[in-house]
Amino acid sequence: MVQFALEVKSLTKTIGKKTIVNDVSFQVEKGEIFGLLGPNGAGKTTIIRMIVSLINRTGGTVLVNGKDLDNSFTAAMNELGAIVENPEFYKYLSGFKNLRHYARMALGEVSDERINEVTKLVGLEKAIHDKVRTYSLGMRQRLGVAQAILHKPTILILDEPTNGLDPQGIREFRDYLRFLTSQGTSVLVSSHLLSEMQLMCDRFAIIEHGKLIHISSMHENDASEAEKPKTVIVEISDPIIAAKLLAEHMPDIKVTSKEGSRLTLSLRKDKIPSFNKLFVENNIDVFEIMNVKATLEDRFLEITNKDRKEQTT
């Protein structure tokens, strides 16, 4: 049984003497949303264009459900659905007629029943027979997803899919992708919107200057992360005495700031019960303990800054 929905091995793109994408390798697991992160111009769109064969690869291999794009092109491409940049449609036709037009180009038969099925999936039932020129940007994005999944691809590839969407449209789009993965579809999505990718993805890779510099789960749950200091905010009745108690009895816990009734502490997670007990035993009321989680933006900046420092040393 094939383990990965998509495998990219040593993907490279050069134009003249300039290397646009440099030896990039990653895998997308079945049923996951995998994000390609990076600033504009990092090479994300070039990677996606090579995967879907819109441009030639200088080097590297692309496997779709184990099918090599070079040796089994038609079979591999039939497993893919994609939206690269903004989806384009015939604006003088209805959404339904646009989908029927794309259905005729599929390798297998796509029935009107399937068109109705994907229309319902993306929430366009009420507007599907209206002309596309009347659609909002969010509706056109939904129609793009419907078009991309008409032929039941096993992996959906999206390049900056939320560009121009309002917050409601972004949330709906994210919900559609989650539903698709619950049905077994895998998703590769690229974006520079870190806050949105944090809510959307299971794993992510960071691309910078055409190179892959990091791959990680969106959730920090490995053993090494458990040993790292955490930032914790404690709301208490007497922060001054609390700080003195910590300095005397638990000097390994660092007080990084004091603000009103709150102390901000840097400590390992396993130290939380100990300082809480220390405060209670000394008649300090503890109203709230909040764990401040690093955002994807924090992690992105930490990783990219570290990579730049390593390159300059």
Burial pattern 57-70, b for ≥16 Cβ within 10 A else e, equals beebebbbbebebe
Residue 30 in this model has a pLDDT that exceeds 60: yes
Q: Would you call 196 helix, strand, or coil by DSSP?
A: helix
Residue 223, token pair as written in the block = 């053993």
Residue 185, token pair as written in the block = 């579809």
pLDDT (average), residues 50-65: 93
CATH classification at residue 50: 3.40.50.300
Number of domains observed in the structure of the chain? 2
Same domain, 205 and 287: no
Same domain, 69 and 167: yes
Q: Would you call 298 helix, strand, or coil by DSSP?
A: helix
Same domain, 115 and 204: yes
pLDDT band at 313 (very low <50, low <70, confident <90, very high): low
pTM higher than 0.85: no
Residues spanned by the domain of 74: 4-217
Same domain, 14 and 132: yes
pLDDT (average), residues 1-24: 89
C-alpha closest to that of 8 among 281, 272, 207, 197:
207
Same domain, 9 and 94: yes
CATH classification at residue 231: 3.30.70.250
Residue 92 maps to a domain: yes
- Report which secondary-structure segment, H or E, holds 148: helix 137-148
